[in-house]
A and B are shown apart, each in its own frame.
Chain A
């Protein structure tokens, strides 16, 4: 039987770098030219299947990039297994913001968090302000995953999520993988074993 895992993923980054578009491309394979800016945080799920038939279900929290909501971000990256920090390759200032996010994650998030740095809007490379070398060098120094994506064309999007899935420690079965707050599955189920049926009721399997 194939193994299933479930992980909490949070998207961070400056306003208008394309976080929501990235998620929309990944989850629905769609793109909208004009998207209202996110006021709040959106929750979506997407499952990817790895080569060994292991499936990884991402619980994705797409957060608001606006500065005024910055104080709420810790509530979203709390308990996250992975973070995608997004910048816009046509705005060098957005990489600065991304560095700030990464510093904050390294300081305050779960130490085992997997962080990916993602340069979005690669379709606009004519207006590029952030070179691949610069970003890659920074990522290597900090031990982050790195990639460039285009939510508009779809280039690199599934790749970055897939490589996160591969890198996540896949040793914890989903039933005990950390999940947000109260949704974690309670341990220790009571009840008498009445099982005389041919089909066993299997604990810990949610297929």
Chain B
């Protein structure tokens, strides 16, 4: 098969099996003659990624191409060999068409084997006219081996290179029929590693980019082939700690108390109506769906605020010892008791009745789903599948684990999966919890009626209710500590004293305090670091921690157990397909429900479901595919076309992007148009200039970073320039004319150089304090003439940056009586003008027509932003460890003596000003001090970057910061 003219050099054939005999219509037993075919396994080296293989059925044909081998092969069928690859063999005799129609010879019937290769919904089969199957055993074994090597979930995109061999006939289209693995969908497509001056693996990149492009277009045009319908879903979760139902649950179950913002809610409804209106006009209704008539009722019936589906999850429903091992009669009856309690709560839904359509229990874990009666039909139960996985003792016991229910929303093609999981307990077991997540991800599989199974991730939306995955951690209340574990998981644990203090902050500080607390939240940080729940979404938490509540003397003012750190242990996350639009409309806890040591939580979502019209989908797909014609790499064309290389050609306009003046924190955007002026579709990507380097400096971003342009059309690329505290420093110290080249590589062809130019306007923001105090003049003047100005010598440095001095002076003379100075945010536009004056050294007399109060707030805001932008906080990180140990005012002041003179005097000026401010206030002085300390403590003692573990080790807890800064207010 080496003469196969289309084999691309990176690929190779592992094995080729000849003379496979296939009846020429092998799906028909009475079929005619046999024909000769070959079977080949083709493998592509994954270039450091996983190797991928496919199996091809090919036929021999004379070669028409001059100069090539006399015989070539045409590919008839292709299947990717993924983890889903299955082989079915059976002995089967077929009747051959006899050469003479009248003769009835015995050898008309030939014994042989039928072989079927199957990968998900795709399959091909053939028949071997042999009685000796052993000849084929090795290839069967090899295909099984290749399939076993694949990950449990695989991106079909990794196999997209196979489309090259099938001449685009085989397009990995199952992607649109069944939901793809959500983890894969949300991943960046695996383009080949490439730098300037190399070609990467062009055919691989073309197929990856092309498939991504097709998928994007299919999603964009979904309203053309799918009936879209808005559906509301409510999830309720409750760790009941073994208690039976007791008390009213309707607020939790139905969310009547949930305050829905009328404006945003009605807006969403409006969108829905518009969408459905379009849809209805463009698509005559097919009569086969039971709930058709209900669509308009749901969409337009704004009288009914109740969710279409309610999913209720419980944890620790049964805490008995036997419950750890097996389901007991008691645990089952507890489930029944809760179901009746829920049913009772549901009766509060005015004019709407719900039916329970599914439930699943694994000892203490229980989940049930209720749906509005109008959606419940006979066939919905057909479509529901459930699963349960234990990860407790020995990895199988059911004290920990998950249950899941999966269903297709009635009348749609949208597959929804719900997981209720209870992960390892105890603060210290973060690693175990993360491991549990991965274990569950692997083992949670739904088996449908047909017997084939699929991962919970193969859904359009996956909702995951997690309990006890998280806590604000640490058993020791006195110290915070850092552990550096073998899995590189930094864990900063917050003393419970801090947690309680931040939770009790006054309402105007609550958002900030919750944000601070959440930076210590293990689930959030695990998710951000990609250790678990990668790609999942969770709405911001605006409710108090849901664990652990105690009664009587054992509890604090808020009712939390004094012995345990309050934590957000109960959470609801989701992961969704780009095909399905999800809006979360609420996320709450229900503190009024008192029966457990946890509080119940709930979340509500509005999702856009789709029902696909397959005929229309096929025609949209065909239309989209027709635009991708010719996107093959030049090499491939060279083999194909006689007139060679209709070279892919893009025109960039403009080729130089001039953005004019670039100022700190004033983002600028430009649009670059890529026009295809060639004959073939063009795949492109932004590539880095060197192996180590990024494609662009961090103040410059280009999106998207890859794409495809069909002939005679164009696409837009957005170029954004944003100088901020993270990247301003290098720019301030460098040249003021910025000139960057971004490389746009046409796959298989040209590199375009895109020039981005601008004049950088230096700023006092984002710098080292040391540099600021040595500036001989305002920063803008300094940048204008580098030759004329020299930095001041160390010993001649200013005592404090002149910009800080100017800000404080203005505030002292104009704003000391403004009670909410530095508390309320300032107008960003006014703050921008103030910043400009600081940079240029101009007087503050420019001031636009704003009232005095607005102006004062803007100055306060600028002061805080300036301090926050310094590359190191005013109190340098090296001293943070000592700040922890300062227990008196004198000790705090002693630390000042260790600071450089300019840091010390800057700090003293600020704290003196703040102290003065608190004395002038019409409010209670202690209150004002409290407010200012809360605002300035995190600024003056800002945490070091996470990538500097030696500094992180000595950082202060939020409460310690407040305490230290407070010393400067005490007189």
Q: Is A171 an interface residue (CB 8 A)?
A: no
Q: State whether A194 touches B15 (Cβ < 8 A).
A: yes
Chain A, Cβ-Cβ closest to B17: A197
Closest to B199 in A: A183
Q: How far is the CA of A206 from the CA of B2 in the complex (A)?
A: 8
B13 located at the interface, meaning its Cβ lies under 8 Å from any Cβ of chain A in the complex: yes
B residues 630-674 touching A (CB-CB < 8 Å): 634-635, 638, 644-645, 647, 652, 655
Residues of A within 8 A of B3 (CB): 199, 207
User: In whole angstroms, what is the CA distance A78 to B195 when docked?
Assistant: 11
How many residues of B are counted as interface, with CB atoms below 8 angstroms from the partner's CB atoms?
A: 58
Interface centre among B195, B635, B753 (most CB of A within 10 A): B753
Judge if B698 is at the interface, Cβ distance under 8 Å.
Answer: no
- Pick from B45, B145, B195, B196: contact of A189, CB below 8 A: B45
- The secondary-structure label for the interface of chain A is loop
19 pairs across A/B with beta carbons < 8 Å?
A: A39-B655, A40-B753, A41-B197, A41-B751, A43-B749, A44-B645, A45-B635, A45-B638, A64-B753, A72-B743, A181-B198, A186-B45, A191-B14, A191-B142, A192-B142, A195-B16, A197-B38, A199-B16, A201-B16
A156 at interface, CB cutoff 8 A: no
Q: How far is the CA of A191 from the CA of B193 in the complex (A)?
A: 24
By a CB distance below 8 angstroms, the chain A residues around B193 are 181-182
Q: Are B16 and A182 in contact (CB under 8 A)?
A: no
Is there an interface contact between B1 and A199, defined as CB atoms closer than 8 Å? yes
A44–B635 Cα gap in the complex (Å)? 10
A186 with B635: in contact, given A28-B645, A202-B2 (CB under 8 Å)?
no
**B residues in contact with A198, CB < 8 Å:** 18
6 closest residue pairs by CB, A with B: A181-B198, A180-B198, A75-B196, A194-B15, A75-B197, A202-B2
Interface 0/1 of B612-636, CB less than 8 Å to A: 0000000000000000000000110
* Interface set of B (CB-CB < 8 Å, partner A): 1-3, 5, 7-10, 12-18, 38, 43, 45, 47, 51, 69, 135, 138-139, 142, 145, 192-202, 634-635, 638, 644-645, 647, 652, 655, 689-690, 739, 741, 743-744, 748-753, 755
Tell which of A40, A68, A72 touches B689, judged by Cβ atoms closer than 8 Å: A72
- Contact A69 to B197, CB < 8 A, known contacts A191-B14, A203-B12: no
- Residues from chain B with a CB closer than 8 A to the CB of A201 are 1-2, 12-16
Count of A interface residues, CB-CB < 8 Å: 44
Chain B contacts for A69, CB-based, 8 A: 741, 753
In the bound complex, do residue B197 and residue A194 qualify as a contact, i.e. CB atoms below 8 Å apart?
A: no
Q: Chain B: which residue is nearest A175 at the CB level?
A: B9
C-alpha gap A189/B47 in the complex (Å)? 12
Q: How many A-B residue pairs have CB under 8 A?
A: 135
Other A-B pairs, 10, CB within 8 Å; known A69-B753, A202-B2? A40-B750, A43-B748, A45-B635, A181-B195, A181-B200, A189-B43, A191-B15, A197-B15, A198-B18, A206-B7
Complex-state Cα separation, A44 to B647, whole angstroms: 8
Chain B residues within 8 Å of A78, by CB = 197
Residue A103 is within 8 A (CB to CB) of chain B in the complex: no
* Pair A182/B750 contact, Cβ less than 8 Å: no
Is B753 a contact of A197 with CB atoms below 8 Å? no
> Are A206 and B753 in contact, with the CB atoms below 8 A?
no
A26 nearest CB across to chain B (Å) = 13
- Please, how many angstroms separate the alpha-carbon atoms of A196 and B45 in the complex? 23
Contact B753–A181 (Cβ < 8 Å): no
Contact B741 A182 (CB under 8 A): no
Residues on B with beta carbons closer than 8 Å to the beta carbon of A27: 645
Contact flag A40-B15 (CB < 8 Å), given A28-B644, A76-B197: no
Residues of A near B750 (CB, < 8 A) are 40-43
Question: In the complex, A205→B69 CA distance in Å?
Answer: 13
A142 to chain B, nearest CB (A): 24
Is A197 a contact of B16 with CB atoms below 8 Å?
Answer: yes
A194-B138 contact, Cβ under 8 Å, with A75-B196, A205-B2: yes
Judge if A136 is at the interface, Cβ distance under 8 Å. no
Q: Please, which residues of chain A bring their CB within 8 A of the CB of B199? A: 43, 59, 180-181, 183
Task: Give Cα distance in the complex from A24 to B644, angstroms.
Answer: 13
B327 to chain A minimum Cβ distance, whole angstroms, is 47
C-alpha spacing A107/B450, complex, angstroms: 69
Whether a CB of chain B sits under 8 angstroms from the CB of A61 is yes
Query: Across the interface, which residues of B come within 8 angstroms of A185, CB to CB?
Result: 9-10
Q: Which residues of A sit under 8 angstroms from B744, Cβ to Cβ? A: 40
Q: How far is the CA of A115 from the CA of B38 in the complex (A)?
A: 47
A185-B9, A186-B10, A194-B138 known; A40-B198 Cβ under 8 A: no
